[in-house]
Amino acid sequence: MASVYYNYIASKWVGALSGETFASYNPANGELVGQVPQCGQADVERAAEGAAAAYRQWRLVPAPKRGEILYRVARRLQQEKERLATLMTREMGKVIAEARGDVQEAIDMAYYMAGEGRRLLGYTAPVELPDKFGMAVREPIGVVACITPWNFPIAIPGWKILPALVAGNTVIFKPASDTAVLGIEFVKIFDEEGLPPGVLSVVTGPGDAVGEALISHPAVKAVSFTGSTEAGRRVMALAAPGLKKVGLELGGKNAILVLDDANLDLALDGIVWSAFGTSGQRCTACSRVIVQRGIYHELVERLAARARGLKLGDGLLPATEVGPVVNRRALDRIEGYVGIGRQEGARLVAGGHVATEDGLDRGCFYAPTLFDEVRPDMRIAQEEIFGPVLSIIPVRDLADAIEVNNATAYGLSSSIFTQDINAAFRALRDLSTGIVYINAGTIGAEIQFPFGGTRGTGNGHREAGQAGIDAYTEWKAVYVDYSGRLQRAQIDTDDLVRV
């Protein structure tokens, strides 16, 4: 019998006020994972009131003490890593090794942000007048809504919740409905490790009922959202009347550039991992390979063979290399884009179908798919598919490759395989993405560096690293005048200079 889960609202584990629930299913086999509260406006109201009340005290807790709680959370996540990873594979499908990596990102972020409790760096600078001191310090914003996707159901909540908490904010967390059980389990750890009541709440339910109510609520002062670019525009529109601080991490159409001098074996490994890891369901997944014509045909032939040989199955099975996509809607979307690719005239060289062999028909599996002779202006080369579908685009040279890479609505991650250091540095300079890799795939960002992109990938904010604090703090400039008289900046300065 599947477990029944509850939301954590105003320091109590409760069901939705309506009494309604929804089910979470394993996309590999249709197994019921758990029943979760289906919240609405009234539940959001209750969570917002609790978070606003808790903020008044939490903001006054010294930041090093806030950090100590995060250290305890980090250690607990380490202890719970295998349990959470197994649940993740059951609830959203990624293979167990990747699920362990997902949890490890949250562990790393918890340790990193716990250390920020001893820093939260501001700065001092010289001032214009004598007997006066100036500094800039960070302050928390208030109640923060963190709305997260299903593809990294522990890591991405960690990227958002941990810096928000250490900075002194309270958080209302809405996990994706496809991974609501994991979201609840994540919050349990904070509660059990001593986070004060009301500082972190979790509300589960559909985005239109719960997410939009959260974004619009007057008690919520900032919103952090990861999802599609279309949904991100909706978030900004809802937050605009309240002039709320909004951080968006949105779509991608990431590319790997492969030049004629590349180590082809290494490039193939990087492409397969980036395109078909997590079944292509990463915002940083490679969905385009931009290849110089000198090695084009060899790369296509070898890549097609690799794609056909990948083992699909339940992510808990040791032999599985590619798990299911998250649900039937995703399966239909991918199938639709494969049809578009065919209509546009791209040549299908691998995959291109729902996988149903060997019992896979019980789940949501799509065969790793490869199109070649793709034109840069085709929809499959421009629009985010979010599945195991890869387009190969031939180009003349490095300049052509960079131009094709940059000619999309997105700018998250890019990569180049080359043994020419001059080409590598030109790519570093000219690829207009927030993340660039040299001789590696498009996935694998580490938590100590800023994560995010340009153009339609977001609104300029970054997650992780020192930049991860920015979305959850406001700057305050402080001046201390100990001269004992009124001094007027920019006015009483002429007599201070003596030759």
pTM (2 d.p.): 0.97
Q: What is the DSSP letter of 397?
A: S
Catalytic hit among 249, 286, 364, 384: 249
CATH number at residue 353: 3.40.309.10
- Quote the CA–CA distance of 107 and 105 in Å, as a whole number: 5
Cβ neighbours, 10 Å, residue 277: 25
Instruction: Verify that 411 and 336 share a domain, yes or no.
Output: yes
pLDDT at 499 over 50: no
| Residue 493: predicted pLDDT | 76
- Domain membership of residue 153 (yes or no) is yes
The torsion defined by the Cα of 429, 433, 438 and 444, in degrees rounded to 10, comes to 150
DSSP structure string for 45-69: HHHHHHHHHHHHHHTTS-HHHHHHH
Q: How many Å from the N-terminal Cα to the C-terminal Cα in the chain?
A: 86
Does position 45 have pLDDT exceeding 70, yes or no?
yes
Q: One of 283, 286, 384, 463 is an active-site residue; which one?
A: 283
**In a domain? residue 487:** no
Instruction: Please give the helix or strand (H or E) that residue 315 lies within, else none.
Output: none
The string of pLDDT tens digits covering residues 175-223 is 999 999 999 999 999 999 999 999 999 999 999 999 999 999 999 999 9
Domain contains 443: no
* 146 part of the active site: no
Residues 80 and 195 in one domain: yes
pLDDT in tens, 202-212: 999 999 999 99
272-297 mean pLDDT:
98
Nearest to 336 by CA among 369, 376, 301: 369
Q: In the listed set 387, 410, 438, which residue is the last one of a domain according to the structure?
A: 438
* Mean pLDDT, residues 113-140 taken together: 97
How many domains does the structure of the chain reveal? 2
Same domain for 271 and 224: no
Query: Which alpha helices (DSSP H) does 240-344 contain, by range?
Result: 264-276, 296-309, 328-344
80 is an active site residue = no
- Reply yes or no on whether the pLDDT at 1 is more than 80: no
Average pLDDT, the chain: 97
Asked if the structure places residue 111 within a domain, the reply is: yes
Tokens 């750890």 belong to 189
Could you give the CA distance from residue 51 to residue 142 in angstroms, rounded to a whole number?
9
Residues 292 and 211 in one domain: no
Please classify residue 60 by burial: count the beta carbons closer than 10 Å to its beta carbon, then call 0-12 exposed, 13-18 middle and 19+ buried: exposed
Instruction: Specify the DSSP element, H or E, that contains 39.
Output: none
Reported confidence tier of residue 492, pLDDT bands at 50, 70, 90: confident
Range of the domain at 156: 3-250+458-478
Q: Cα–Cα distance between 83 and 287 in angstroms, integer?
A: 31
